[in-house]
Amino acid sequence: MNTWERYIKNFVSFLKIEKGLSENSILAYQRDVTKLMEYCTDHQRDNPTLVGLDELKGFVFILHELGLSARSQARVISGVKQFFQFLILENERDDDPSELLELPKIGLKLPEVLTIEEIDALIEAIDYSKNEGIRNRAILETLYSCGLRVSELVNLRFSDLYLEEGFMRVIGKGNKERLVPTSPSVKEEITCYVSETRNHQTIKPGNEDVVFLNRRGVKLTRVMIFTIIKDLANVIGLKKSVSPHTFRHSFATHLIEGGANLRAIQEMLGHESITTTEIYTHLDQRFIREAIISYHPRNMK
């Protein structure tokens, strides 16, 4: 194991134990720093404690030359900055050469949002002649009514559900826990799925507490949720690019349009920063603008 690999291994342990990040986040950071390692070793920098600003600028230039989008570049640079902060915390460096690295400017990209009618159409397109039909309806209703991430949905457990009281406990990014209100429709759909489908399955050991299972009695994968939604979009001929996250965006946008408090939405989504939630105010402004253009007498032909 070379010097870089040793530091990266310790960095991964730090992210897992000290920071409590999810496996996906840790893998992303590890990939980012590995890219830097490959560049630096090609330029005779075999130890990260010897890397300076010139090497980092060269690395960022290569990212640009490789055609990475501004958003992808920003993500890689963010991972590199975390790595150098780790080296300082471990007393391996006294300075942080990444401090002077500027993140590329990222234009505001508004996420795709479904209308209520489109969400209803997707749910109505479910084939209830199949055993998984009732389960899929419960999945879509939970995604939309609770604004869950797909990883939060597949890891949802019965011990986290308090449907009679009207809320569920969700373990989000970085193992952070939050309480999310549940609607009567979520209670109805999950209850129906459990009684009509899940109770008649053979459940593999270790999955007894998991809410949503595949036909083999084990936890669903994130890819399977994507596939369910893509297939339903094809059935109704929906031209929008949809994913499980589209339901989360729609959840937040419809709450904003209905006048919900931004802080409350931040709590329900589990956003660490209010800045992340504020993107939905831009969506709301777009909604207002479209409404004015469509319905104001001065704009109507």
Task: Identify whether residues 146 and 85 lie together within a single domain.
Answer: no
pLDDT over 80 at 12, yes or no: yes
Q: How far apart are the first and last CA of the chain?
A: 71
pLDDT over 70 at 42, yes or no: yes
111 assigned to some structural domain: no
Round to whole Å and give the CA distance between 127 and 201. Answer: 19
**Domain limits at 285?**
116-294
Task: Provide the pLDDT for residue 74.
Answer: 86
Task: Provide the pLDDT for residue 207.
Answer: 95
Answer yes or no: 149 catalytic.
yes
The catalytic position among 16, 173, 187, 204 is: 173
Answer yes or no: 173 catalytic.
yes
pLDDT over 60 at 210, yes or no: yes
The catalytic position among 157, 178, 187, 245 is: 245
For the residues 184-199, what does the mean pLDDT come to? 94
Answer yes or no: 216 catalytic.
no
Round to whole Å and give the CA distance between 153 and 143. Answer: 7
Task: Provide the pLDDT for residue 298.
Answer: 45
pLDDT in tens, 121-178: 999 999 988 889 999 999 999 999 888 989 999 999 999 999 999 989 988 877 788 8
The catalytic position among 280, 282, 298, 301 is: 280
107 assigned to some structural domain: no
pLDDT over 50 at 296, yes or no: no
pLDDT over 60 at 91, yes or no: yes
Round to whole Å and give the CA distance between 106 and 72. Answer: 10
CB 147 within 8 A of CB 197: no
Domain of 95, CATH number, reads 1.10.150.130
Q: What percent of the chain has pLDDT over 70?
A: 86
213 assigned to some structural domain: yes
Answer yes or no: 157 catalytic.
no
The catalytic position among 35, 81, 219, 248 is: 248
Domain of 270, CATH number, reads 1.10.443.10
pLDDT in tens, 227-260: 999 999 999 999 888 989 899 888 888 877 777 6
